[in-house]
Amino acid sequence: MIMNHINIFRDPTRYAGWPANYGLWAWGNEVVAVFTVGTPLMGAGLHTRSRAEPFSTVQARSLDGGQNWSVENPHFPSPGGRGVSADEHMLEELTLAWAIRHKMEVLPRDCPGGINFTHPDFALMCARTGLGMGTVSWFYVSYDRARTWEGPFSLPLFGQPGIEARTDTIVNGPSDCMFFLTASCENGDEGAGVLMARTRDAGKFFTLQTWVCKTPGVMSIMPSSLRVSPRRILTAVRCHARGQSVQPSFWIDLYISDDDGQAFRCLNRPAPDTGTGGNPPMLSRLPDGRIVLVYGVRKPPYGIRARISPDDGETWGEEVFLRQDGGSRDLGYPRSVLLEEGTLVTVYYFNEQFHAERYIGATIWKP
């Protein structure tokens, strides 16, 4: 299996991370990735970044299937012009939550509807304040391949203490889209479970259709969802056993719906040990129908791995090692997109040495 590793954004004076919190899109061989960039600080713990410096949202574009990239200002309107979906990595006065409380422009607002989810140059990205109780979320849309963005459009709380949105949607038609979202816990923690909300009127109204998972004692966050037939949907979920002596305590579960998202059940555990801290999943479907699951691994050998299913997630093959040269567990959070010839571009954050910079890389490969 041929793999080509590419640096998308690498700067020794910057800390770049967490593409899974944002998005990755492809239109033919044009690919756009979004991530966040802050200031490095060794000794800060797992994430070697300074909380006293702001994080900014960064966008990178490739016009040749991921081989070469240019960095752009993504032009996301946000409260106070601040970077999105990184509040947990900054001091309070630098956060979006602070900006919203102080009514700094631009505030999230109700979506008027009229979204065309099937526009050929469409992209949608979810964003949020922090994690846990009080987290609010919204989304942006683009009709010009992420060159300009409209929003922020508010997502409801659906009766939950908070909604911790990362981008995970299934488009069903021009005005019909499913949003898979993480709900906060009543005790203030993150990850009470994953719910699926749906709009059928082009984004004007959303309803909570069902829970994908809500398991006592398990932190369930960061879904990745995929429609594999008119009735069957797969959702992979990052999981952690809270305060238990369960070993391993970080894994990925796969859930399935056979009734177009009316109800979900757990199908299997394709990644039973993702290492201390865990890592989110990414599901893709190849032209021949195989399902690819990609995830970061925060145990030696640190890196990026994948497993492939020939039967819509019922069974999984052996692990495929995309990267096993990581220098610490501060890596992963992958996103993947499929190019027209069946090649996958998998984007993640990475480091080869603990004391080196965290950067955004990509592996271009054909399973």
Please give the pLDDT value at position 220.
Answer: 98
* Mean pLDDT calculated for residue range 352-357: 94
Please give the pLDDT value at position 265.
Answer: 98
Q: Percent of the chain beyond pLDDT 90?
A: 96
Q: Do 100 and 192 touch, CB atoms closer than 8 A?
A: no
* Mean pLDDT calculated for residue range 294-313: 98
- Rounded distance, CA 303 to CA 332, Å? 7
Q: How confident is the model at residue 243 (pLDDT cuts 50, 70, 90)?
A: confident
pLDDT digits (tens, 9 = 90+) for 58-95: 999 999 999 999 999 998 999 999 999 999 999 999 99
Which residue in the block uniquely carries the two structure tokens 């929003």?
Answer: 151
> How many CB atoms are closer than 10 A to CB 107?
15
pLDDT digits (tens, 9 = 90+) for 169-217: 999 999 999 999 999 999 999 999 999 999 999 999 999 999 999 999 9
Q: Do 305 and 325 touch, CB atoms closer than 8 A?
A: no
Please give the pLDDT value at position 75.
Answer: 86
Q: Among 139-143, 173-177, 339-343, where is mean pLDDT lowest?
A: 339-343
Please give the pLDDT value at position 224.
Answer: 98
- The answer, as to whether pTM is greater than 0.85, is yes
Q: Domain 3-365: give its CATH code.
A: 2.120.10.10
Q: How confident is the model at residue 1 (pLDDT cuts 50, 70, 90)?
A: confident
Query: Where along the chain do its domains lie?
Result: 3-365
